[in-house]
Each structure stands twice: as structure tokens, then as C-alpha cells.
Amino acid sequence: MKIVLLIGLSVVCCWTQTVAAETMVERGRYIVEVIGACGNCHTPQGPGGPDESRHLAGGNPIEEPGMVAIPRNITPDMETGIGAWTDAQIITAIREGVRPDGRVLGPPMPFGMYRQISDRDVAAIVAYLRMVKPVNNQPEPSSYDFPLPESWGPPVDQVPEPDRTDEVAYGAYLAGPLGHCIECHSTPDAHGFPDLENALGAGGMLFHGPWGVSAATNLTPTGLSGKSDAEIKQIITTGMRADGSRLRPPMGFSYYAHLTDGDLDAIVAYLRSLPPR
């Protein structure tokens, strides 16, 4: 019992030291460029991959039922990006889907999940976005065949840090608010929002792009049946299956290749904990 307690204290101390040693910009870079894979939508894609000369300056059209969404320019360009926005305005846009002028942003930006990003992590995202190269690029406006609501919910108050010592809970945070896996791995409804009831189990969502057509898969234990933890991690980080076949975009394995070992362990533990569907 004493040994277990000492191990637990060691884990907590290690996590505390890691968070303390990590600067806000470093944490923001990890969220934006790795687990969040923001460039997967906000950077233009070509047959050879993302156009890094226009990194985060607005992405390819996303066509889903009833809408054509054009990802916005989230570089600090003063004219066409978010350079003139305050930190609070950027945070409100991320977590509540409201621009500084009061206009409501539309799907597929997963506001319902981003509302749960911790205060420290969303501040870290802003700190990093302030540091990226400004790119002057004005994407075309998005179009929706349905009216957007006045808001996506009440203003977000304080959101605490997740418990990194609980592997499954932290995996849920990584795959949920930060990684928003459900955005692709669940069939969208008529308004482009994911099927929360069958989270990560429906799969089958189709993606049309320069790579052709690809489909999301079932991430519950049903879909992962027969795959070892090592194989799941390999698929996430390299896009390579055990049989040698490769995944196609928009799965962000080029981003996820930089996930830490601890975060990969937590994500796999969370996926294993889901009810089979």
C-alpha cells in the first residue's frame, strides 16, 4: 500500500513538474500543431499534402449536408486573420463560435467540444497563434442552407485543467475537446453536427479531396477488434496498418506523429473503454 501511494505521488509530482516546465507557447504549439491538427482544416491541401506557404491561412472547402464551409484564416494577419482580435475575442471564437463583430460561426467547427478546453489550454492556443507567420489571405465566406442560431450556448465560464493522472479521463480530453475525433468518426446530422449518441462508433463519414474519397472508421472496441495497442498507435501516428496498407487524408497522422508516448497511451486507454458499437 505504501509503495502504491509513493508511485501515485511520483506520478502527480512528475505531471506537475512537466506542466510547470512547459511554456504557454510550447503547450499551444503542441495543441495546434499536434493533437488539435488545426492545419488539417485551416491550411490549404493539395495532392501532395498541405501548402505550408499558407499555413493556417484558410483551408479547402468542406462540403457536408446543407453546407459548404470554408475554414478561416487564423494567422495573426491584421487584415484577413486574427491579428486585430484581442485574446478574449479569440478565446470566445474558439469556445463559443462568436466573432468579435457578434456574428456566429458555423459548423463543422466543433464548438460543443471546444467549450470544454481548459482555461490554460485555450490561453496557450492563443499564445501560439500570436507567434505563427502572418499570411494575408481572405477565404470565401461559408454558405449554409439552414439558419445559424444566435449562439451555441451560454458564455463559457471557467474550465479547470483535466486530471492527467487518470489515464482514461485524460485520454477522453485528448480525443474529445483537443483532438475532436468525433468530428470525423461519427456520421453528421442534417446540420453537420456529429452523432453524439453513437460517438466514435458510426464511422462511414465520407471525405472528398485531392486524394480522392476516404471514409472514417469505427473507433470503438468493435472497430478496433484484433488490433494491439502498438498497432493502434502505429495507425494513429503513421497512417500505416499492420497489413501494409495506408490511410488517406484527412486523417492527420502527419500531425499525430508527434504525439507524446504518454498521450498515445491515454488515447488508446480511452478508446478501449468505450462501449462497443
Over the chain, what is the mean pLDDT? 87
Sign of CA dihedral 243, 244, 245, 247: positive
Print the domain residue range for 249. 23-273
* pLDDT for residue 1 is more than 60: no
Q: Is residue 5 part of a domain?
A: no
Q: Is residue 169 part of a domain?
A: yes
The Cα–Cα gap between 159 and 44 comes to: 32
Query: What are the backbone dihedrals phi and psi of residue 92, each rounded to the nearest 5 degrees, phi first?
Result: -65, -40
Q: Is residue 247 part of a domain?
A: yes
Q: Is residue 7 part of a domain?
A: no
* pLDDT for residue 196 is more than 90: no
For the ranges 69-83, 134-148, 155-169, 238-252, which has the lowest average pLDDT? 238-252
* pLDDT for residue 36 is more than 90: yes
Residue in the structure block whose three cell numbers are 501548402: 51
Question: Region 148-153: what's the mean pLDDT?
Answer: 92
pLDDT digits (tens, 9 = 90+) for 81-119: 999 999 999 999 999 999 999 999 998 888 888 999 999
pLDDT digits (tens, 9 = 90+) for 222-265: 888 889 999 999 999 998 988 888 888 778 888 999 999 999 99
Strand bridging mode 49-50 / 45-46: antiparallel
* pLDDT for residue 29 is more than 60: yes
Q: Is residue 167 part of a domain?
A: yes
Query: DSSP readout, 64-105?
Result: ETTEEE-----S--TTTSSTTS-HHHHHHHHHH-B-TTSPBP
Cα distances (angstroms) measured from residue 122 to each of 46, 148, 166? 29, 24, 21
Q: Is residue 47 part of a domain?
A: yes
Q: Is residue 81 part of a domain?
A: yes
Give the containing element (helix H, strand E) for 208.
strand 206-209
- Position 13 scores a pLDDT of 42
Q: In what order do the strands lie in the sheet with 67-69?
A: 62-64, 67-69, 143-144
Question: Could you tell me the pTM of the whole model?
Answer: 0.86
At residue 3 the predicted structure's pLDDT band, cuts being 50, 70 and 90, is: very low
Structural domains of the chain, count: 1
- Position 162 scores a pLDDT of 95
For the ranges 48-57, 131-140, 225-234, which has the lowest average pLDDT? 48-57
Q: Is residue 15 part of a domain?
A: no
- Position 63 scores a pLDDT of 84
At residue 21 the predicted structure's pLDDT band, cuts being 50, 70 and 90, is: low
